[in-house]
Amino acid sequence: MDTNTTTGYTLNGSTVLPLGSSALPLRAPRDPKRVRGRIRRRFLLLMLAPLIIGGLIFLATQFLMPTTRDIEIVPSSAVIGMDGDDVAVLVYHDDSRPGPFEAMFQMRVSAIRLSDGEQLWDQRLNEDLIGDAVVLAGDASSVYIGSDHGLVILDAATGAVRVEGDGVPGIGADAVLSASAYGYDPEVDAVVALTGSGALVQIAVGSTQAVPADAAVTARWQNTLGSGPFLDETVLTQQVEVAATPDGTRFEIVPVAEAVQRDALVITSTDPAQVVRTELVDARLLPVVGLEPRLGVLLETGQFLPGDFAGIDADDVEALLQQAFGAMPSVEHVVAPAGAGQGFVLVQHRESVNADRVLLSSVDIATGKLIDTVEMQADAVRALTGPSGTTAVIAAAPESWSADRLLVLEDDGSFREVEVGAVPWWMVSFG
């Protein structure tokens, strides 16, 4: 028995009140409408909770993520053909990728269709702070990248890694972990790799199987590949003063007033014979250079000299060349200018004598007229040309010191900017 002198006690399940006290008030019956309303409110709260939490996460990521992306596209990227489309395969460093589960430092590769700028896929290669990678070749089935983690073969449709490093059949544990150990031989359409034993192997584009290199490939690549820690990209980034196309059209930057760096772009064509002249300030031509790693130096006169010129200044090499072959190199030994396949030539120059701004302009080959001009923060890194003739330029945006954008040359001579390393909205919001 539970007793209480003020409120009564319970006896055999019944409440007994003390003498002189009033009966306890009966509980009012529950209103069904109020009960249903309370249930609806609780159900609505449960339904809204995920939306509220998701919104808070979204706002938090917007405040915590970097205000701008910080990426750097490497010059050893390329444009390859996939099902008839020119696709830019761009290797880039990224230390600003949003999302709580993303590594701080990443090397990534992105495939972008140049015709419409659509990003087909974006794949992480590694999480190195520094390192090299070179896009070697690709087709509709596979993309081949030489890196400091060995050869990486990606699925061309999805970007997924098919094999890499010591997992490449025919190389295995003999893989060399250096981007300098890999190249592309266009004559046999195969990737060439240096193994740890010093042998050369080749992988046909479209395959993952390495086989011993044949005699011709070995002769071309002997003493060209290596295991050095740094990939020599000098030839890829060199700009020139002289260029020429196979039809004999010649492009030359001629000094007009050297004291103020005033130049003239002179275009001399042979069919029909004509000369057009466009004056610019501190002008240079963007050339078309191959992907394959080559020992040598690309001179400002547009000539490539094969060989090991380590320790020799490029100006000294150029002086020796001019003494031996004359100051005017022949068309057959000069690189082609970027954009010529579309009827334009790409020229880097400054806005004026007193301006520091670096500009990139497209010049109509037939008339010498400037068609379009874009501003850059620094020198253009490299011009890329695809199998179908589409030209794109790796460059730095006006507010960035590193190469973070791709400029695609349109058929009318204008430039179209393409975003590199685009991140889906759901990844920005939820990592």
Give the C-alpha separation, 13 to 16, whole Å.
10
3-state DSSP call for residue 41?
Answer: helix
Q: What is the pLDDT of residue 330?
A: 47
Q: Using the predicted structure, report yes or no on whether residue 131 has a pLDDT greater than 90.
A: no
CB atoms within 10 A of CB 194: 26
Reported as a single tens digit per residue, the pLDDT across 407-428 is 999 999 999 999 998 776 555 5
DSSP label at 17? P
Reported as a single tens digit per residue, the pLDDT across 349-404 is 999 999 888 999 999 999 999 999 999 999 999 999 999 999 999 999 998 888 99
Could you tell me the pLDDT band of residue 310, with boundaries at 50, 70 and 90?
low
Percentage of the chain with pLDDT > 70?
Answer: 75
- Give φ, ψ of 415 to 5 degrees: -100, 140
Give the C-alpha separation, 347 to 274, whole Å.
20
Q: What is the pLDDT of residue 430?
A: 45
Give the C-alpha separation, 251 to 242, whole Å.
6
Instruction: Decide if 112 contacts 118 (C-beta within 8 A).
Output: yes
- Give mean pLDDT, residues 302-318: 63
Q: Report which residue type is found at 310.
A: A
Could you tell me the pLDDT band of residue 235, with boundaries at 50, 70 and 90?
confident
| Residue 190 exposed, middle or buried by CB count within 10 Å (0-12, 13-18, 19+) | buried
Give the C-alpha separation, 34 to 51, whole Å.
26
pTM (2 decimals)? 0.77
| Residue among 341, 342, 382 at smallest CA distance from 360 | 382
Q: Using the predicted structure, report yes or no on whether residue 63 has a pLDDT greater than 60.
A: no
Give the C-alpha separation, 55 to 76, whole Å.
41
Domain ranges of the chain: 29-64, 71-231+421-430, 234-418
Q: What is the pLDDT of residue 174?
A: 97
Q: What's the half-sphere exposure (Cβ side, CA atoms, 13 Å) at 415?
A: 26
Determine which of 47-61, 264-278, 385-399 has the lowest per-residue pLDDT on average: 47-61
Angle at alpha carbon of residue 259, lines to 256 and 263, rounded to 5°: 30
Angle at alpha carbon of residue 377, lines to 298 and 94, rounded to 5°: 85
Reported as a single tens digit per residue, the pLDDT across 108-127 is 999 999 999 999 999 999 88
- For the chain, the farthest-separated pair of C-alpha atoms sits apart, in whole angstroms, at 130
Q: What is the pLDDT of residue 328?
A: 47
Q: Using the predicted structure, report yes or no on whether residue 201 has a pLDDT greater than 70.
A: yes
Top mean pLDDT of 93-97, 202-206, 295-299 is at 202-206
Q: What is the pLDDT of residue 272?
A: 74
Q: What is the pLDDT of residue 292?
A: 54
Q: What is the pLDDT of residue 130?
A: 80
The mean predicted confidence, pLDDT, of the chain is: 83
Percentage of the chain with pLDDT > 90?
Answer: 55
Give the C-alpha separation, 107 to 243, whole Å.
34
Q: Using the predicted structure, report yes or no on whether residue 13 has a pLDDT greater than 80.
A: no
- Give mean pLDDT, residues 213-227: 91
